[in-house]
Copies of this chain bind each other. A is one copy, B any other.
Amino acid sequence: MKIEDEIKSTVALDLSKKIILNIMYTQNILSEKFNEVLKPYDLSGEQYNVLRILRGQKGNPANMCVIQERMIAKTSNTTRLVDKLLLKELVTRNVCPENRRKIEVLITQKGLDVLSELDPKVIEHENALTSNLSTEELEQLNTLLEKYRNQ
C-alpha cells in the first residue's frame, strides 16, 4: 500500500514529505514486527540491541559509553537498559578497576543462550522483509538511505 493510503491522507503530498512519512512509517512497521519476535523472550528491541552489542565484544567488557555509541537510538538511556538486563541475569556489571568512573558490562552465558535461541528467528524476520526485493534493489535502498541521511 502507498504511504498516502496507509495514513489516509486527504491531500496530495509532495515528494520530500512523502519520503519522511514513508521512512517513519516503515520503521514503525519494522519495530512492531520485531517486537512480536522478541515478545516470547520478554525482551524489548533496545534490550536486544544492547545484548547484540555485548556479544559483539567477544568476551571483552563494554562500558556504558561504548554501548551508547553503538546503539541505533543515540539518546537511549543505557544505564536503565542495563539495569533491566541485570535483573534478568543476562549481563553483569562491575566497576572498572583501572578507571573507577567506568562500568564494565559483560553478557552472561544465559544472555548468550537467549541470543542463540533468537538468532534463527531474527534472521527469518530479516529475510521475510527482503524476500521480494532483488539484491540490486536492496543495495539501491541502502545507498539512497545513506545519501538521504548524510546532509
- Chain A residues packing against B (C-beta within 8 Å): 1-3, 7-11, 15-32, 56-57, 69-75, 126-133, 135, 137-142, 144-151
Some 11 contacts from A to B, beta carbons below 8 A apart, are: A2-B146, A9-B56, A16-B127, A17-B126, A19-B129, A22-B146, A23-B145, A26-B27, A26-B149, A28-B72, A140-B140
Contact at A10–B139, with CB atoms within 8 Å? no
A141 to B22, CA, bound (A): 9
Instruction: Indicate how many identical chains form the complex.
Output: 2
Contact at A140–B132, with CB atoms within 8 Å? no
Which residues of B have CB within 8 Å of A21? 72
Which residues of B have CB within 8 Å of A140? 140, 144
